[in-house]
Chains A and B, each alone.
Chain A
Amino acid sequence: MKDASATNTLSLQNVVKTYAMGSATVRALDGVSLEIARNEYVAVMGPSGSGKSTLMNIIGCLDVPTSGTYCLEGQMVAQMPEERLAEIRNRRIGFVFQTFNLLPRANILHNVELPLVYGGVPRTERRARAETALRTVGLSDRMTHRPNELSGGQRQRVAIARALVTRPSIVLADEPTGNLDSKTGEDIMSMLDDLHAGGQTIILVTHEEHIAEHAHRLVRLRDGLIESDEVRRAPAPRRVAVPVLEAAGVGAA
């Protein structure tokens, strides 16, 4: 598997996921193979029930395939115990959710710090990195606010800062604009575009065509299978100098 990891950030081989639904078994994924290289910007689309949530959960290491292999940066994830999966999620994956999923009782700074807490990063370094990440998304003046004191767009920027603070291999954005108005949604998308330009690998799940157009590659799922997989634009050259993102450590190898 080492050879695949040389170029690919992640590689799925013939991944099957079945669920027991009462007496019947549902094949949510029916043999999906997918390779995503470093610094790709991939959109995953599909109608509901197409298996895109399942695929995202497996890529995000929240779930493991029933059969098939999943290799993330040279590590075989499929058969890992819970504790190792948690570590992978912590170190390599940055989640951005549709509903933001910030901790309501903690302030913004603490929300962004939290992944580093679980990563065992010492307090002072943690604080510095969280502050840098918040500066990157333009919220350094809101650090002591609680999530409910912020607008939807600001909350999603906090979530992005939280995803970036661990310098993950992949940012997984699941309908990141689903709860935002179109203007704010565009702001968030341009922020993701900037991240990609700074070298970040991004996987985007959406059902809106104009959101998917931000990506450079579009994977369509239907009935647990890949229906189409097309590259729309050549990947942007790596490491375009974006000073703010460099400061956040984004794209650092």
Chain B
Amino acid sequence: MKLSLDLVESLQIAIRALRANKARGVLTTLGIIIGIVAVVLTMTAANGLQNRFRESFSAVGTDVIYVSRMPWVVMDDFFLFRNRPNLDLREARALEEKLRGRALVNPTVDTRQDVKYRSEDMEGVTVVGTTEKQNRISSAQPQAGRFLLPFDVTYKKNVCVIGSDVKDGLFGSVDPINKTMKIGRSDFRIIGVMEKQGGSFMGGPNFDRQVFVPISTYVKAFGGQRGHEDVNVAVKAPSQESMKDLEYEVIGEMRKVRKLRPSETDNFSINKLDTLVGTFNNVMGVVLLVGLIVTGISLFVGAVGVMNIMFVSVTERTREIGVRKAIGATQKSILLQFLFESSAICLVGGLIGIVLAALLTAVINATLMPASISIPILIVAVVVSVLVGVLSGVAPAYRGARLDPIESLRYE
């Protein structure tokens, strides 16, 4: 009861002291403001990146293994992979045969082509030759029209399903279904439009800027020399838990298809979303590290500023401290008074920082990437600013609390 009274009173005293010194308080908090802006922006950026990553790669699927010639992320020497043979359609079919009944297998091939509808065209759109199994491997579904059917693949139909960016780029507000567009030099009838996937993540693949065509048609239209396709084979595990086992099986079967001797290393790569997650975490680590350093430095500078101003404040108010002690203030209540004051200064700085960060986030959201401030981030920002306030107030408050009342009353 006594303590809670102390807290309320100390808070009121602190607010009164702050009101009397508004300009100085605000100037002092500049470091804190910058620090809190850095805290909030760092966390918001990290959050935004994570969301963006999740959105961008939701189409990849966490329970899918991709067998390809190259790893997605080349960490080692590129030349180690350069001489690997392409994975061709014949091998893909053989692998599918071996895994029949155990997993869903879908081969894809892709290339970049220019696409054109009337006067509108787009360059370097990813054209993916795939099968009807594509939309069982990935969660992405058509938002209008339909996806490929077995029939389209079997009869090498010149039909395509376009991504949302392609639809926007070529058709604008026109309904693209059943329109005919040019992919490279061939005509394709549009049978469906995919739902939006969230665009490219940091220069990675943009699944919205894609066109799906039957793989058989692809080979006919863009295949080039037979047997030289660079096929990716997607293998979907029946469950998340069977991923690990499936990976070994796929490696084993693939080695059989390639007739590799035990002494030979794999001349193909197994890719999973996990591989990307690892890379992504590295990027996040750098973002967080930079943010942390900026935050740390500005908060430190801010804390030193607040400490300095609190020392000045204690010295200026030596007489006040003497009076308070004479009429019954204990060391503890003087200590609390100044701790509250420094915390309040920093809290004000923190709140200003949060407002600034919110404005900046809105700008980022409108220009760079989707970003929004979340409640946990706000809580962290408030806690950090109060903590800085308490830490920077300890030394000045202690000095004030220890002042001799007699000396203080005599202080001019």
List, in ascending order, chain A residues with CB within 8 A of B118's CB.
none
Once the chains bind, are B326 and A89 in contact (CB under 8 Å)?
yes
Once the chains bind, are B409 and A119 in contact (CB under 8 Å)?
no
Nearest CB of chain A from residue B412's CB, rounded to whole Å: 10
Q: What is the CA–CA distance of A166 and B327 in the complex, to the nearest angstrom?
A: 10
Once the chains bind, are A60 and B324 in contact (CB under 8 Å)?
no
Q: Secondary structure of the B side of the interface?
A: helix
Nearest CB of chain A from residue B325's CB, rounded to whole Å: 7
Q: Does B71 contact A (CB under 8 A)?
A: no
List, in ascending order, chain A residues with CB within 8 A of B409's CB.
62, 97, 101
Once the chains bind, are A83 and B331 in contact (CB under 8 Å)?
yes
Q: Which of B319, B327, B330, B331 contacts A114 (CB 8 A)?
A: B327
Contact with A along B6-47 (1 / 0, CB 8 A): 000100000011001000000000000000000000000000
Q: Which of B5, B17, B328, B331 contacts A89 (CB 8 A)?
A: B328
Q: Which of A63, A102, A106 contacts B16 (CB 8 A)?
A: A106
Q: What is the CA–CA distance of A95 and B9 in the complex, to the nearest angstrom?
A: 22
Once the chains bind, are B406 and A57 in contact (CB under 8 Å)?
yes
Q: Does B187 contact A (CB under 8 A)?
A: no
Q: Does B333 contact A (CB under 8 A)?
A: yes
Q: What is the CA–CA distance of A89 and B329 in the complex, to the nearest angstrom?
A: 9
List, in ascending order, chain A residues with CB within 8 A of B406's CB.
57, 62-63
Q: What is the CA–CA distance of A87 and B324 in the complex, to the nearest angstrom?
A: 12
Q: Does B132 contact A (CB under 8 A)?
A: no
Q: Does B332 contact A (CB under 8 A)?
A: yes
Once the chains bind, are A83 and B332 in contact (CB under 8 Å)?
yes
- If A117-B9, A118-B333, A120-B2 touch, does A86 touch B323 (CB 8 Å cutoff)? no
List, in ascending order, chain B residues with CB within 8 A of A103's CB.
320, 323
Q: What is the CA–CA distance of A89 and B328 in the complex, to the nearest angstrom?
A: 5
Q: Does A142 contact B (CB under 8 A)?
A: no
Nearest CB of chain A from residue B8's CB, rounded to whole Å: 9
- If A83-B332, A118-B333, A120-B2 touch, does A89 touch B320 (CB 8 Å cutoff)? no
Nearest CB of chain B from residue A175's CB, rounded to whole Å: 13
Contact with B along A187-202 (1 / 0, CB 8 A): 0000000000000000
List, in ascending order, chain A residues with CB within 8 A of B324's CB.
114, 118
Residues facing B in A73-116 (CB within 8 A) are 82-83, 86-87, 89-91, 95, 97, 101-103, 105-106, 114-115
Q: What is the CA–CA distance of A102 and B330 in the complex, to the nearest angstrom?
A: 18
Once the chains bind, are A162 and B16 in contact (CB under 8 Å)?
no
Counting chain B CB atoms within 10 Å of each CB, which of A83, A105, A119 scores highest? A105
List, in ascending order, chain B residues with CB within 8 A of A87's CB.
328, 330
Q: Does B142 contact A (CB under 8 A)?
A: no
Q: Closest B residue to A117 by CB, please name it.
A: B9
Q: Does B184 contact A (CB under 8 A)?
A: no
Q: Which of B16, B327, B331 contacts A82 (CB 8 A)?
A: B331
Residues facing B in A168-227 (CB within 8 A) are none
Q: What is the CA–CA distance of A90 and B2 in the complex, to the nearest angstrom?
A: 15
List, in ascending order, chain B residues with CB within 8 A of A102's CB.
323
Q: Does B405 contact A (CB under 8 A)?
A: yes
Once the chains bind, are A105 and B330 in contact (CB under 8 Å)?
no
Q: What is the CA–CA distance of A89 and B405 in the complex, to the nearest angstrom?
A: 12
Once the chains bind, are A86 and B16 in contact (CB under 8 Å)?
no
Q: Which of A91, A95, A105 contacts B20 (CB 8 A)?
A: A105
Q: Closest B residue to A163 by CB, please name it.
A: B327
Once the chains bind, are A120 and B5 in contact (CB under 8 Å)?
yes
Q: Closest B residue to A63 by CB, please name it.
A: B406
Once the chains bind, are B323 and A101 in contact (CB under 8 Å)?
yes
Once the chains bind, are A162 and B328 in contact (CB under 8 Å)?
no
Once the chains bind, are B16 and A101 in contact (CB under 8 Å)?
no
Q: Which of A57, A89, A120 contacts B327 (CB 8 A)?
A: A89
Q: What is the CA–CA distance of A103 and B20 in the complex, to the nearest angstrom?
A: 12
Once the chains bind, are A105 and B16 in contact (CB under 8 Å)?
yes
Q: Closest B residue to A172 by CB, please name it.
A: B326
List, in ascending order, chain B residues with CB within 8 A of A89's CB.
325-328
List, in ascending order, chain B residues with CB within 8 A of A57's CB.
406
Once the chains bind, are A118 and B331 in contact (CB under 8 Å)?
no
Q: Closest A residue to B323 by CB, please name it.
A: A101
Once the chains bind, are A62 and B326 in contact (CB under 8 Å)?
yes
Nearest CB of chain A from residue B10's CB, rounded to whole Å: 10
Q: What is the CA–CA distance of A117 and B16 in the complex, to the nearest angstrom?
A: 15
Nearest CB of chain A from residue B328's CB, rounded to whole Å: 2
Q: What is the CA–CA distance of A101 and B327 in the complex, to the nearest angstrom?
A: 11
Q: Closest A residue to B325 by CB, please name it.
A: A86
Q: Which of A62, A106, A114 contacts B405 (CB 8 A)?
A: A62
Q: What is the CA–CA distance of A86 and B333 in the complex, to the nearest angstrom?
A: 10
Q: What is the CA–CA distance of A114 and B321 in the complex, to the nearest angstrom?
A: 12
Q: Closest B residue to A92 by CB, please name it.
A: B328
Once the chains bind, are B328 and A119 in contact (CB under 8 Å)?
yes
Once the chains bind, are A101 and B325 in contact (CB under 8 Å)?
no
List, in ascending order, chain A residues with CB within 8 A of B405's CB.
62
- If A62-B405, A101-B319 touch, does A115 touch B16 (CB 8 Å cutoff)? no
Q: What is the CA–CA distance of A114 and B329 in the complex, to the nearest angstrom?
A: 9
Q: Which of A83, A97, A117 contacts B330 (CB 8 A)?
A: A83
List, in ascending order, chain A residues with CB within 8 A of B323's CB.
101-103
Once the chains bind, are A60 and B326 in contact (CB under 8 Å)?
yes
Once the chains bind, are B326 and A118 in contact (CB under 8 Å)?
no
Contact with A along B298-341 (1 / 0, CB 8 A): 00000000000000000000011011111111111100000000
Q: What is the CA–CA distance of A166 and B53 in the complex, to the nearest angstrom?
A: 66
12 contacts between A and B (CB under 8 A): A62-B406, A62-B409, A82-B331, A86-B328, A91-B328, A101-B322, A105-B16, A105-B20, A106-B16, A117-B9, A118-B324, A118-B330
Additional A-B contact list (15), CB under 8 Å, known A60-B326, A62-B326, A95-B326: A82-B331, A86-B328, A86-B330, A87-B330, A95-B327, A101-B323, A101-B326, A103-B323, A114-B324, A114-B327, A117-B9, A118-B327, A118-B329, A119-B328, A120-B2
Q: What 7 A-B pairs have minimum CB-CB distances, sorted nearest first?
A: A90-B328, A118-B328, A86-B330, A115-B327, A101-B323, A105-B20, A62-B405
